[in-house]
Structures are given as C-alpha cells and as structure tokens.
Amino acid sequence: MSNLAHQLKFNLKACVGGGTLENVMQFISMYKIVTQRESITVPATGATGRKSTSAGVKSEQVQLTFHSSNKAEEFWAMAYEVINTDSAEMDFAGTMNDDVISDDNPQWSGTAVLLSLDTGTDVGALRQQTITLDVTDAGTTVVTTPPGS
C-alpha cells in the first residue's frame, strides 16, 4: 500500500432527478461521499460482563461545497431547481480523480435528496456553502470500467 500523499482532482456530473447529467466540476470545490453505519449497543451479559457495539443499517450522504453568484448557469441554480421539485432528488456521478474510470479511479453514482439550500450570504462574504444530500435507499453504484467498455 502506497504512503504517497495524493490530492484529489475529482470529476463530477449532476442533474435534477431523471435529467441529463451535466459537468459541474467548475463550481464544486469539495466532493465527498460519506458512508455510515448505525451504532447498535449490545448490553453486557452475564457471560462476558461487557457491552459491545454492532454495526447496524448503512446510510450514505454526498457532501458538496460550491461557490455561487446565483447565475442561471451555475450549480446553485441547479440545486435550487432540485429543492423545488416534489422529490427534491439530484442524480450524480463522479470519480475522485479527473481520469478514466478504473479499479484505481472508480465512479460512484446514485440519486440523493437535497433537504436544505441557502440563498445569499453575509455582506462582503464569499458566497460559498456546503450542502449534504442523503442518498436514496437504492444506495450508490460503484463501477470500475468506463461505459461502453
């Protein structure tokens, strides 16, 4: 296993749920997929005298940080359109490196729900925000071969 430091240069596409994926890399400064497991505490028993923890239900989130001027062609406008649909779903597909999909650069894709979006910011401040989208029950799909291969 390599110990080399590696700066991510991701590739990300997104769209309103069911639409056509568009490249949004130029607007996004952070793209992160967070996978979590629910913590289940098992009480101590007479046999062991120790409590333990087991992994429960898995959930995933997509976290994005973006800069915005609220222009129609920027990511904020897409997010605003998403949050105003009935389902508030956004489709996404992205790799952690701006390179060909491979074993070393898999693509994560799925549908996530946007539940909160800020409009505006403090006077004189950089318009930047981080949003967290909950991935739907279908979860993420991870592929290691480019489409059509």
CB 126 within 8 A of CB 38: no
What are residue 99's phi and psi, to 5 degrees? Answer: -150, 180
Tens-digit pLDDT profile for residues 42-99: 888 777 788 888 999 999 999 999 887 667 778 988 999 999 999 999 999 998 888 8
Determine the pLDDT at residue 48: 74
CB 51 within 8 A of CB 30: no
CB 93 within 8 A of CB 13: yes
Break the chain down into helix, strand, coil percent, rounded to 5: 10, 45, 45
Question: What's the predicted TM-score (pTM) here?
Answer: 0.80
Tens-digit pLDDT profile for residues 6-48: 455 678 899 999 999 999 988 888 888 999 999 999 888 777 7
Give me the residues paired with residue 59 across strands.
Answer: 36
Domains of the chain, residue spans? 23-143
CB 33 within 8 A of CB 60: yes
**∠ CA 65-93-138, rounded to 5°:** 105
